[in-house]
């Protein structure tokens, strides 16, 4: 879910009792913030400005956050107190893109693994995003998916995150604006166990020259669907390609939703 607060476009989550608490937790420029609304407008309170966060969700009446290096935190949605901190799931904590997805009553974490790209892709703190070196070659794609499950036996943590490679008939959609899952049972020609993603990596040459991508100037959702900004990753065989190569899946996004636009600040859910 994504909301626009004042001059910032920030992914945020409402508390379950939002009507009474009138409080939101959001990520603004990588910072985790609590936002409250009163007679004077929106009031922002930072939790920790030294840690860069990638995603946030409200699940099981708790706020879950994941930072740039993969540490997952659970906070009570009323008191905002930390209840559990999970160390990074990667063997070597790295700067990867990460998304929470809820599917059939379970919480998942989708990780875009940039280790396959070598030094070609890296996190650029100034824009709170990932950039790639110049060149026309496509960036290699790799995703990993973790599922939150109860721990068995007497362990310190109540839940664990286990890597999964089969999503059944489910398709996960991930982007910095919103993430969700859907079933392909009633979709002719479509199969599950795949991830549809928005490729939000910025070209460093355009960044350094303070130029905009030609495709960004186009401001056309259909452009993003058919020209590589939106792709499909098959979790079974690790293959990927532009969504335009998969017409059955492409048809699901017609007419194109506004949140597929690359740089538009809009509300979505």
Q: Examine residue 30 and state whether it is found in any structural domain, yes or no.
A: no
The predicted structure's pLDDT at residue 172? 97
121, 124, 128, 133: CA torsion to nearest 10: -40
Mean pLDDT, the chain, rounded, equals 77
The predicted structure's pLDDT at residue 156? 65
pLDDT tens sequence across 12-57? 665 555 544 556 777 777 778 777 766 676 677 777 667 888 998 9
Q: Examine residue 40 and state whether it is found in any structural domain, yes or no.
A: no
Mode of pairing for the β-strands spanning 129-132 and 202-203: parallel
Q: Examine residue 153 and state whether it is found in any structural domain, yes or no.
A: yes
Q: Which residues are within 8 A (CB) of 258 and not within 5 positions of it... i.e. 6 or more apart? A: 221, 264, 266, 268
Structure-token pair, residue 76:
């009570």
Report residue 263's pLDDT band, with 50, 70 and 90 as the boundaries: very low
Q: Examine residue 8 and state whether it is found in any structural domain, yes or no.
A: no
* Residues facing residue 163 across a β-bridge: 146
The predicted structure's pLDDT at residue 192? 93
> Which one has a higher pLDDT value, 225 or 54?
54
Give the separation between CA 86 and CA 247, rounded to whole angstroms. 39
Which residues span the domain enclosing 115?
Answer: 89-260
Q: Examine residue 158 and state whether it is found in any structural domain, yes or no.
A: yes
pLDDT tens sequence across 152-193? 765 667 888 999 999 999 999 998 888 999 999 888 888 999
pLDDT tens sequence across 59-85? 988 889 999 889 998 888 877 788 878
Q: Examine residue 116 and state whether it is found in any structural domain, yes or no.
A: yes
Number of helices (H) and strands (E), helices first, in the chain?
5, 21
Degrees, nearest 5: CA angle 51-55-60 = 115
Residue 4 has pLDDT above 50, yes or no: no
Prediction pTM value: 0.81
Helix (H) or strand (E) holding 21: helix 18-21
Q: Examine residue 224 and state whether it is found in any structural domain, yes or no.
A: yes
Q: Examine residue 120 and state whether it is found in any structural domain, yes or no.
A: yes
What's the total number of domains in the chain? 1
Report residue 129's pLDDT band, with 50, 70 and 90 as the boundaries: confident
């Amino acid at each position: 879910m994504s909301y626009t607060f004042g001059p910032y476009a920030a992914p945020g989550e409402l508390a379950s009792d939002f009507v009474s608490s009138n409080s939101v937790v959001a990520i603004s420029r990588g910072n985790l913030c609590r936002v409250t609304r009163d007679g004077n407008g929106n009031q922002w309170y930072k939790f920790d400005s030294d840690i860069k966060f990638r995603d946030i969700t409200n699940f099981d009446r708790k706020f879950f956050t994941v930072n740039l290096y993969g540490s997952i935190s659970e906070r009570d949605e009323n008191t905002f107190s930390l209840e559990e901190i999970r160390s990074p799931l990667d063997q070597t904590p790295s700067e990867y893109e990460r998304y929470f997805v809820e599917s059939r009553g379970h919480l998942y974490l989708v990780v875009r693994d940039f280790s396959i790209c070598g030094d070609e892709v890296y996190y650029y703190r100034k824009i709170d995003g990932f950039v790639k070196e110049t060149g026309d070659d496509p960036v290699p794609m790799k995703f990993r998916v973790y599922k939150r499950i109860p721990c068995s036996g007497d362990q310190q943590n109540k839940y664990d995150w286990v890597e999964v490679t089969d999503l059944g008939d489910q398709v996960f959609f991930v982007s910095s604006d919103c993430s969700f899952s859907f079933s392909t049972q009633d979709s002719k020609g479509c199969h599950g166990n795949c991830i549809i993603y928005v490729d939000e990596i910025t070209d460093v040459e355009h960044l350094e020259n303070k130029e905009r991508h030609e495709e960004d100037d186009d401001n056309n959702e259909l452009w993003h669907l058919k020209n590589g900004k939106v792709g499909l990753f098959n979790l079974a065989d690790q293959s990927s390609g532009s969504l335009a190569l998969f017409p059955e899946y492409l048809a699901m996004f017609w007419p194109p939703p506004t949140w597929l636009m690359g740089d538009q600040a809009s509300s979505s859910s």
